[in-house]
Amino acid sequence: VILMDVMMPEMDGFTACRHIKSNPEWESIPIIMVTALDDRKSLRRGFESGANDFIGKAASAIELRARVKSMVKIKRQYDSLAQLLAFREDMANMVVHDMRNPLTSIIGYSQLLEYLPLSAEDVQDFARKIISEGRRLSRFINDVLLLAKMEENVLRLNLSETDVASLIHKIGRAHV
């Protein structure tokens, strides 16, 4: 948080505020302008220059601490949100990349089937590869949807009693 007087010797607070807010590294830092000015025109000028709050010079220490504490809380929330948005953007880029690989294979094999004279064995091989990549893409999409449901707390478990020994026996017979 920056506490800044409006009336300063070399540069007024409005100009200093505009300079601070024009720098991308500093634009999210909250600025509280301390001023003896109390007219609406000065307040408007301050907000237009990028100030987040105003406090009069006659303000008490309690009020000053409360305003600073409030701005620090807002700044932390802003930083947390910015970090979350950056993470989501990275995740979206990874999802697109991971979906593109099997899709590229599906399109490539499909084009080969369409344009090349192939033996029946080659056609079956390409068809198996297309099916395999399609299933891979489907599993990935299902995983992404499951993750989204988990994030939104929409995923609900349906608990039921199960005979584990019987289940293991069925699985064992299926793999024989």
Specify the pLDDT at position 115: 86
| Alpha helices (H) in the chain, listed in sequence order | 13-22, 40-49, 61-115, 120-151, 164-174
pTM of the model: 0.55
pLDDT tens string, the chain, 176 residues long: the values are 998 888 888 888 899 999 999 999 999 999 998 887 777 888 888 889 999 988 888 888 898 899 999 999 999 999 999 998 888 888 888 888 888 888 999 999 899 888 888 888 989 998 999 999 999 999 888 888 887 777 777 666 677 888 888 888 888 777 65
Specify which residues 158 forms β-bridges with: none
Specify the pLDDT at position 176: 59
Residue at token pair 């305003």: 67
The Cα 168–Cα 65 span in angstroms is 64
Helix (H) or strand (E) run with residue 31 in it: strand 31-35
Contact 126, 118 (CB under 8 A): yes
Angle in degrees, CA 70, 72, 73, rounded to 5? 65
How many residues are given for the chain? 176
Q: What are phi and psi of 44, to 5 degrees?
A: -60, -45
Specify the pLDDT at position 155: 62
Specify which residues 34 forms β-bridges with: 5, 55
